[in-house]
Amino acid sequence: MTDTFVDFKNVFLAYDDGGDFAVEDITLSTRQGEFIAIVGPSGCGKSTFMKLATGLKAPTRGSVSIDGSPVTGPLKIVGMAFQAPTLLPWRTTLDNVLLPLEIVEPHRSRFRSNRAQYEAQALKLLKAVGLDGYAQQFPWQLSGGMQQRASICRALIHEPKMLLLDEPFGALDAFTREELWCILRDLQSAQRFNVILVTHDLREAAFLADTIYVMSRRPGRIVARKENPLPGPRELEVTYTEPFTALVHELREHIGRVRTS
Amino acid sequence: MKKSLLQKSAPWLLLSAVLIVWQLVCSLFAISEFIFPSPVAIAQSLVEFAGPIALHAWRTFWVTMAGFALAVVVGVVLGMAIGSSPFLYSAAYPLMTAFNALPKAAFVPILVVWFGIGAGPAILTAFLISFFPIMVNIATGLATLEPEMEDVLRVLGARRMDVLLKVGLPRSMPYFFASLKVAITLAFVGTTVSEMTASNEGIGYLLVSAGSSMRMPLAFAGLVVIGAMAMTMYELFSVVEKRTTGWAHRGAR
């Protein structure tokens, strides 16, 4: 096993043959257990980047490797969560969280016989995000923030090596958002999975990520890479300090440049 | 939110009001029974011909159910096929719409040539008229699946079948049950239309023969029976719908 986890080498992707590229010449690599954030103006190909990293799309040019092996198809070692919680309304919160185990091998074939054990695992995870007592509720009985927590539990239930988050907190109010930042921070520092967080909230990126990448407008390119100078895991208090503000300010300047160019 | 007693009994109150006005109009203006029979006359012939009406009604009922069952099977299968493949969806949808626009009564003579007089054409007419809403609703339920949900599952290595069984089908169940309510009433229309020209049994046949022998109260009695059967089946599927897909009607609780 190498020390590099995600490895993009000169990756281009065009959705239709001969068309314009959605992302261009992306080169980046992350260490094992690193938390990276990708920020950029809307429509910059952030979601395309996610599809490449999960193997849902193959690059038109260049190569993508995850955990030392080239990506050829969908990657089971990945969990995903989106801005919309996409929970299934006919399943309880617990059953929603268990859904990936009914799909992914090797859990799939053992699901029936080991159900009790899996349920215990799911309940532990729900407890970690502050949802104990809500396992038997249906998603529509939960608030938006609680649904998003359940969605993150669903992404983590099969203990993926990499968590991909596409603006997961975009639809939440500011206080709930900060609460979920802390939950995500704690989960990540306990389990050390890799995270790729796609967001346009610069404070979110600066608070959570070890390394922040700024993408340009379509066709998306990486125009800046910034290591977080603040040691992690960070406390919410840090977001009111001078170095944090300076970091956000610097990122904002990069975004300003790509928006006007 | 519980419905008040008044709201629950509203349809019955309206029905009684209409019947009373109808009866009054018929009695006051002394309208001939051959032109427009009164509710009382209709009720009398319902009782008088209870035996034959029941036989014809039973015939119409099972024929409709057979056609409807066929429509459910074919509608679900076709709906699944065109709903889960964008290619099939765009290929089949315009043709299906054109087919649906054809008057199904026009098929009856053709079906008679193929299957002769009797249950065959009636079952098939009921089927032809009622499979379309079922197919469209299943297809819509499947085709409007959120792409994010599909990504979540596909990345885990889900096969098409997994996505269909775990998400697609449960998700389209409310659409499916809503379509059953529409389809069952249409199926009764199909059966009756076919029986009117191509059968010696059934309420459709009863309507035509009563009409041609000027027994208007009996013809109206036939209409009442059809209406009652369609209503009952509609309500039945309504209850099934509420029981099985309560999660989709949570606002109405």
Torsion sign over Cα A227, A230, A231, A236? negative
Residue A108 burial (C-beta neighbours within 10 Å; 0-12, 13-18, 19+): middle
Which pLDDT does position B2 carry in this prediction? 60
Arithmetic mean of pLDDT, B79-96: 87
CB within 8 Å: A90 and B170:
yes
- Asked if the model's pLDDT at residue B252 lies above 50, the reply is no
Between A and B, how many residue pairs show a Cβ–Cβ distance under 8 A? 59
For residue range A52-98, list pLDDT tens digits in order: 888 888 888 888 888 888 888 787 788 888 888 888 888 889 989 98
Structure confidence at residue B253 as a pLDDT band (50, 70, 90): very low
Structure confidence at residue A2 as a pLDDT band (50, 70, 90): low
Structure confidence at residue B14 as a pLDDT band (50, 70, 90): very high
Question: Which amino acid would we find at residue A22?
Answer: A
- Asked if the model's pLDDT at residue A18 lies above 70, the reply is no
Q: Which of B146, B154, B156, B243 to mutate to test the interface with A (most CBs of A within 10 A)?
A: B156
Angle between helices B203-212 and B50-84 (to 10 degrees): 130
CB within 8 Å: B247 and A138:
yes
Strand order in the sheet with A211-215: A78-82, A162-166, A194-199, A35-39, A211-215, A222-227
Percent residues over pLDDT 70 in chain A: 97
Q: Pick from B74, B66, B44, B61: which is nearest to B120 by CA? A: B66
Q: Pick from B173, B179, B180: which is nearest to B249 by CA? A: B173
- N-terminal to C-terminal alpha carbon distance within chain B: 5
d(CA A238, CA A178): 12
ipTM comes to 0.74
d(CA B201, CA B190): 15
Residue B19 burial (C-beta neighbours within 10 Å; 0-12, 13-18, 19+): middle
CB within 8 Å: B152 and A154:
yes
For residue range A108-137, list pLDDT tens digits in order: 888 888 888 888 888 888 888 888 888 888
- Asked if the model's pLDDT at residue B251 lies above 60, the reply is no
- Asked if the model's pLDDT at residue A7 lies above 90, the reply is no
- Asked if the model's pLDDT at residue B3 lies above 80, the reply is no
Domains annotated for chain B, with CATH where assigned, are 36-246 (1.10.3720.10)
Q: Does the CB of A19 have a partner CB in chain B at under 8 Å?
A: no
CATH superfamily for A4-260 is: P-loop containing nucleotide triphosphate hydrolases (3.40.50.300)
Q: Pick from B181, B213, B195: which is nearest to B57 by CA? A: B195
Checking DSSP bridges between strand A211-215 and strand A194-199, what pairing results, if any?
unpaired
Which pLDDT does position A258 carry in this prediction? 74
Which pLDDT does position B63 carry in this prediction? 92
DSSP character string of A100-137: HHHHSTTHHHHTTTTHHHHHHHHHHHHHHTT-TT-TTS
Residues of A in contact with B153 (CB under 8 A): 99, 103
DSSP character string of chain B: -PPPHHHHHHHHHHHHHHHHHHHHHHHHTT--TTTS--HHHHHHHHHHTHHHHHHHHHHHHHHHHHHHHHHHHHHHHHHHHHHH-HHHHHHHHHHHHHHHHS-GGGGHHHHHHHH-SSHHHHHHHHHHHHHHHHHHHHHHHHHT--HHHHHHHHHTT--HHHHIIIIIHHHHHHHHHHHHHHHHHHHHHHHHHHHHHH-SSSHHHHHHHHHHTT-HHHHHHHHHHHHHHHHHHHHHHHHHHHHH-GGG-GGG-
Arithmetic mean of pLDDT, B196-216: 86
Which pLDDT does position B232 carry in this prediction? 92
For residue range A132-163, list pLDDT tens digits in order: 888 888 888 888 888 988 998 898 888 888 88
CB within 8 Å: A88 and B248:
no
Interface of A with B in 129-158 (CB under 8 A): 138, 140, 154-155, 158
- Asked if the model's pLDDT at residue B18 lies above 90, the reply is yes
Tell me if the bond preceding A70 is cis, omega within 30° of 0.
no
Q: Pick from A40, A29, A36, A34: which is nearest to A4 by CA? A: A29
* Range among A68-77, A192-201, B25-34, B242-251 rated most confident: A192-201
Residues of A in contact with B149 (CB under 8 A): 86, 88
Q: Which of A80, A137, A152, A164 to mutate to test the interface with B (most CBs of B within 10 A)?
A: A80
pTM of the model: 0.76
For residue range A217-226, list pLDDT tens digits in order: 778 888 888 8
Q: Does the CB of A105 have a partner CB in chain B at under 8 Å?
A: yes
Which pLDDT does position B13 carry in this prediction? 92
- Asked if the model's pLDDT at residue A1 lies above 80, the reply is no
Angle at CA of residue A189, ends A184 and A193, nearest 5°: 80
Distance between B98 CA and the closest CA of chain A, angstroms: 32
Q: b/e map of A56-67 (b: 16 or more CB within 10 Å)?
A: bbebbebebbbb
3-state secondary structure of A231: coil
The beta-carbon neighbor of A86 closest among B149, B155, B250 is B149
d(CA B132, CA B169): 18
Q: Does the CB of B252 have a partner CB in chain A at under 8 Å?
A: no
For residue range B143-171, list pLDDT tens digits in order: 888 888 888 888 887 887 888 888 888 88
The beta-carbon neighbor of A56 closest among B151, B171, B173 is B151
Distance between B157 CA and the closest CA of chain A, angstroms: 6
The mean predicted confidence, pLDDT, of chain A is 85
Structure confidence at residue B178 as a pLDDT band (50, 70, 90): confident
Arithmetic mean of pLDDT, A189-214: 89
Q: Pick from B141, B139, B229: which is nearest to B184 by CA? A: B229
- Asked if the model's pLDDT at residue B68 lies above 90, the reply is yes
Q: What are phi and psi of A81, to 5 degrees?
A: -140, 150
Which pLDDT does position A73 carry in this prediction? 79
CB within 8 Å: A105 and B157:
yes
Arithmetic mean of pLDDT, A240-247: 90
Structure confidence at residue B71 as a pLDDT band (50, 70, 90): very high
d(CA A124, CA A128): 6
